[in-house]
Each structure stands twice: as structure tokens, then as C-alpha cells.
A = this chain, B = another copy of it.
Amino acid sequence: ALEEGDDVLREVLRDYHASEIAILFEKLPSEAHERIINILPTDIASEVISEMHEESHPGELLINLDPEKRSEIVSELEYDDATDIIAQLDEEEQENILESMDEEDASSIRALLSYAEHTAGGLMNSSLIKVNISQDKKGALDDIIRQSEEMEEFYTIYVVNGDDVLQGVVSIKDIIKAHADVKVQDLLKPDPVYVKADVDQEEVARLISQYNLTTIPVVDDEMKLLGRITVDDIIDVMEEESTEDILKISGVSEDEELSGSWQDAVKSRLPWLVINLGTAYLAASVIRHFDSTVKQLPLLAAYMTIIAGMGGNSATQALAVTVRRISLSDLTDRQAYSTVFKEFLVGLINGSVNGLVVLCVALFYDANPMLGLVLFLAMTGNLMIAGITGATIPLVLKRVGIDPAVASSIIITTFTDCAGFLLPLWLASKFLL
């Protein structure tokens, strides 16, 4: 019966693209992954595994397969994909897999494993198309066809000299159109954009995006060509980096897996909440300092939460705009100053508009004009502080080399909470009691 079920499954899966099966995996328990991989043809199985999201743990799936099936699948993988998957395993498991592979493949993957995960070296694929600068048309074309045999997509053709030093690129169109006696040298487009292997992946994404590249070559310190990074890998990097930005700004550790377990989530978020608890006591100490004020006018307790809360939200707005702006481009000093000034102005205006609303409520509902004035001033003041801190703190963090997204709302709202409690209570103690 199981056999029969497998036949049906095989038939159904025939109509799916490998990446669709990989997405299907996210919705299935891991036992099902193994069963499906085992009935798929090797080339499709290896494509599925390379398309699996890191959070679905393709490495563990691989380890659980029958060793022979596993070797077949791994040798079908592109080097960079194989490296990413193997890198997730512990050392013993890595050795297990590498030893079962043929020597050339294993040594290519070992070389890639030596680069840090989030660098150009960690992202690159060592299989690429390159031709020697001294080749003629026929030789170059033969080389290109031979090298492209194993590649799905047709990317840039790199030109190197005898020492494998990157000289530039050449276009397939120019080679095809060229006369037989033309050399690669004559068709060369020099000065390509390149990266060193230890460059951070975020910088690689920035270069690919800025120069609209489909692929970027990776070189060592002597400019020898090590590999290339293609734009589809960069799309994954960009998704990762955006996820990190959104998580960090919301006070979640950047490495929490979105579909991770509750244990991981607690580990990732509890430290931030404990820090927040400390800062909340700081803000609350402001209130305790004005115990007698609150006792005399308990409705201040209600109003101060409004002012603190509005400050927190304004600060989050300013923070989000500033952090995102910094992460997309560097700011000059003049731009940094004008950003802070803009946020100050926005805080002033939004503060006075909302302050007027609060003033009117105090006037007509509480029939207390002086209270209204106190609240108006407190609201305006707190939203100005919100704007200034929301813009300044990420800018300063960036200057001193700390990721500006760490200035999460948790940090920023400490300021607006303290000021949001202090301003109305202090003003009230001065003018109302």
C-alpha cells in the first residue's frame, strides 16, 4: 500500500517546480520531507534541497537520508548551495558528507566553508565562466560552451590573465559578432566592479543594487578570481537583512527564526524585555517622586499615560524613518543635522496639534484651563523630545559604528516615558497645586 501511495505521490509531484516543492515542505512535518526526497529523481531532489529555506533545515534532512542517495544529491548541488547546507551541520556530520564525495567537489566545498557565512566569500559560487585574455574567438567560444555546460543560467563571462588575475569582462554578443582573428583582449571591457572575499554581504547587496549588476566577481588580495555572486543569492540576503531590521527595531534579536520554537522566541526576546523593565522602573521612579501630586490630582495619572504613550509612538515614527534611511544610504553631516532638525519640527507641530486636542478636552470636559495649559505644554515638549531622540540616537550609533537598528523602540521610549511622566507632573506641581 505504501508503494502504491508513493506512485501516486510521484505522479502528483511531477507537475511541481522544485521551488514549489520546497515551499510545500514548510507546511509539512519533517518525516514527509524525507519520504518525498526519496521518491524524487536525484536532480529534482537536489534542486528542492537547494531551494529549501534555512529554517526548514535542509542539512538535517540530508543527514537522515540513505548515504548513497545523499552522495548523489550533494554532487548534483551547486558548490555554493552545498556549502550553505553543509555549513549548518556539526563538524562530524560535515566530514561524513565530504568524505563520501569525489575529491574535486569536496575540496571546492572545503575551500568555500573556510569563508565566514555573511561575507562575499560565504556567498560566492566557485563555478563560473572565464576565458583567458590571450584567447582568440574560436578558443574563447569553445571554452565558454564547455564551462556553461553545467550551468543553468548564462551569466557574465570573466576575463583573466595567465595568473588567474581578473582583467575585466567580455560580452557573448561581441564574441559571436567578432572576426575569427580577433582576440579576447580586443573585446575586453576593463574595470569591472568587484568585491574582496571578506566584504560583508550587506555591502555586496549594496553594490549589486547600486550598479544594477546580475553578478559580481569575488577576488582575493592579489585580484585573483575566486568566484562570483549572482543576484538571486543577493535577493535572499536582502530579505534576510530587511527581516533583521524589522526585528531589531521592534526589540527582537536579529537571529530569531520567524517560524522558530517558543523556546527560541523566549531566549531572543526576554533579554530585551528585562532591559525594558529596568528602564520602566527608571520612568516609574519619576512618578513615585511626585506621589503627593498624583494623590492630590489623580486624573494626572490618566493624562500622563496619554502624553508618555504619544511620545513613544512619535519617537517610533521618527526612529523607523531615520533607521531605514541610514540603512539605504550614508548621510553627510549636513543631511544628518537637517534630519534632526526636521524631526524636531515635526515633533513640535504634531505635539502642538495633539496638545490642542488635549487642552480642549481639559477645558470642556474637566473644566480646568490651567490643567489644559499644563497638558498642552507637556505634550508639545514630549513630542519634540521624541522627534529629536528618534533621529539623533540612530545617527549617533551609526557614527560610532553600532548598528542603528539597535536603537530599538525599547531604548527610545525610555526617554519619552521619562519625559512624558516628568513634564506633566512637574508642571502640575508648579502651576496647579
In the docked arrangement, what's the CA distance between A246 and B361, Å? 33
A297 (CB) vs chain B CBs: closest residue: B295
Inter-subunit contact A232/B246 (CB<8 Å): no
Inter-subunit contact A252/B287 (CB<8 Å): no
Inter-subunit contact A17/B313 (CB<8 Å): no
Inter-subunit contact B153/A350 (CB<8 Å): no
A289 (CB) vs chain B CBs: closest residue: B302
Inter-subunit contact A214/B153 (CB<8 Å): yes
A291 (CB) vs chain B CBs: closest residue: B298
Contact of A324 among B172, B246, B270 (CB under 8 A): B246
A-side interface size class: 35 or more
Interface flags, A115-154, vs B, CB<8A=1, else 0: 0000000000000000000000000010011001000011
Which A201-250 residues have a C-beta within 8 angstroms of B? 208-214, 231-232, 234-236, 238-239, 242-243, 245-247, 249-250
Q: Does A329 interact with chain B (Cβ within 8 Å)?
A: yes
- Minimum CB–CB distance for A177 against chain B, Å: 6
- Minimum CB–CB distance for A36 against chain B, Å: 17
Which A2-23 residues have a C-beta within 8 angstroms of B? 17, 19-20, 23
In the docked arrangement, what's the CA distance between A332 and B213, Å? 36
- Beyond A270-B350, A354-B273, whether A294 also contacts B305 by CB under 8 A is no
- Minimum CB–CB distance for A79 against chain B, Å: 16
Contact of A350 among B20, B266, B335 (CB under 8 A): B266
Other A-B pairs beyond A141-B176, A242-B242, 5, CB < 8 Å: A145-B176, A214-B231, A214-B232, A234-B235, A266-B350
